[in-house]
């Protein structure tokens, strides 16, 4: 099968873990092991990944430098795509000697008038306590919001409309290349008034961009890997139960609490309903078993 595999942020950095190169490489090595299992099982994979902590760190580093050294989020997103893709590519190559692997910087078209620009919701960067978040917001003109048991900077997250390099990705996959792309949801760009493209200050949701990429590539499956073993009905209650299988039409993202799982559920349901194919959500280490239908939650068309 041709599978778009979306790695959750935990594949690169666990919550409250220091943003060191060593920690990221250790986590990427674990992710690469799961990805290699899918390749050995005979699947063609296209890998996407998050970048929230990394792009936030790059923004902090840029802000700490000279006043003219600050870069907009689209350029920082491109930097993080290259950095994370490099780590994934290197660790995957160690497990799959002889396989061709490529990291592709990916531009994603968004609408200039997307309402998300007026209402930032996408968390990036480190987790702070409330007092620190409020101080940084005042000093740097940030918007901040609660995220789990802490606070984080939030930025605009417009809807992805088109993966501009999808034809290149498809050509590479047709030639048996494992492609790493769409990092952090891709680099958000808009059309210039007089032709061409230009980046915008935003971060695209990785799950929505992965779903769009899967549709544009004609993928057989969208696989969303995270740190939980599936989608739970009644999550947070004593009657919580994992959903083994459900159709995209039966799955209502709005019935799940806002947070990291809702975008995954929305993306999975959209892919299943739009294409008639399957999507699946589950733990990183269960990737092969999830595709086989033995673990995780399967969302059908």
Q: What's 190's DSSP letter?
A: E
Phi-psi category of residue 72: left, alpha or beta, with phi > 0 → left and psi -120 to 50 → alpha: beta
Among 38-47, 181-190, 225-234, which stretch is predicted with the lowest mean pLDDT? 225-234
Secondary structure string (H, E, C) spanning 61-130? HHHHCCHHHCCCHHHHHHHHHHHHHHHHHHHHHHHCCCCCEEEECCEEECCCCCHHHHCCCEEEEEEECH
Element (H, E) at 246: strand 245-247
Measure CA of the first residue to CA of the last residue in the chain; give whole Å.
Answer: 16
**Residue 150 parent element (H or E):** strand 150-155
Active site residues: 9-10, 122, 206, 264
Q: State yes or no: pLDDT of 259 exceeds 80.
A: no
Write down the CATH number for the domain with range 2-114+157-299: 3.40.1160.10
Q: Where are the domains of the chain?
A: 2-114+157-299, 121-155
- Sheet with 278-283: strands ordered across: 101-104, 178-181, 44-49, 2-7, 221-226, 278-283, 297-300, 245-247
| pLDDT in the model for residue 124 | 79
Whether residue 214 is predicted with pLDDT greater than 90 in this model: the reply is yes
Q: What does the block give as tokens for 214?
A: 């899967």
Residues across the chain: 301
List pLDDT tens digits, range 9-53: 666 777 667 777 788 888 899 999 999 999 999 999 999 998 766
d(Cα 133, Cα 114) in Å, to the nearest integer? 26
Q: Is the pLDDT at 167 greater than 70, yes or no? A: yes
Which phi and psi angles does 200 have, rounded to 5°? -130, 160
Banded pLDDT at 88 (limits 50, 70, 90): very high
Average pLDDT on 212-217 reads 98
């Amino acid at each position: 099968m041709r599978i778009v595999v979306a790695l959750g942020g935990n594949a690169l950095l666990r919550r409250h873990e220091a943003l060191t190169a060593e920690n990221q490489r250790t986590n990427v090595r674990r992710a690469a092991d799961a990805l290699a299992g899918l390749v050995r099982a005979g699947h063609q994979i296209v890998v996407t990944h998050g970048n929230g902590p990394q792009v936030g760190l790059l923004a902090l580093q840029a802000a700490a430098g000279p006043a003219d050294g600050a870069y907009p989020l689209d350029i920082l997103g491109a930097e993080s795509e290259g950095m994370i893709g490099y780590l994934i590519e290197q660790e995957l190559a160690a497990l799959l000697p002889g396989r061709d692997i490529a990291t592709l910087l990916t531009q994603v078209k968004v609408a200039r008038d997307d309402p998300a620009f007026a209402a930032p919701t996408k968390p990036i960067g480190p987790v702070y306590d409330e007092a620190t978040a409020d101080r940084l917001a005042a000093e740097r003109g940030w918007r901040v919001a609660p995220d789990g048991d802490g606070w984080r900077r939030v930025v605009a997250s417009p809807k992805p409309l088109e993966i501009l390099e999808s034809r290149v990705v498809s050509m590479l996959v047709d030639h048996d290349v494992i492609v790493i792309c769409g990092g952090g949801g891709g680099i958000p760009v808009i059309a210039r008034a007089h032709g061409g493209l230009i980046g915008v200050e935003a971060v695209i949701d990785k799950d929505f961009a992965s779903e769009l990429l899967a549709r544009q590539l004609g993928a057989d499956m969208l696989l969303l890997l995270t740190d939980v073993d599936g989608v739970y009905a009644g999550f947070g209650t004593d009657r919580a139960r994992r959903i083994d299988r459900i159709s995209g039409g039966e799955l209502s993202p709005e019935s799940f609490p806002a947070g990291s799982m809702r975008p995954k559920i929305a993306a999975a349901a959209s892919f299943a309903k739009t294409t008639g194919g399957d999507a699946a959500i589950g733990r990183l280490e269960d990737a092969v078993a999830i595709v086989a239908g033995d673990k995780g939650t399967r969302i059908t068309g």
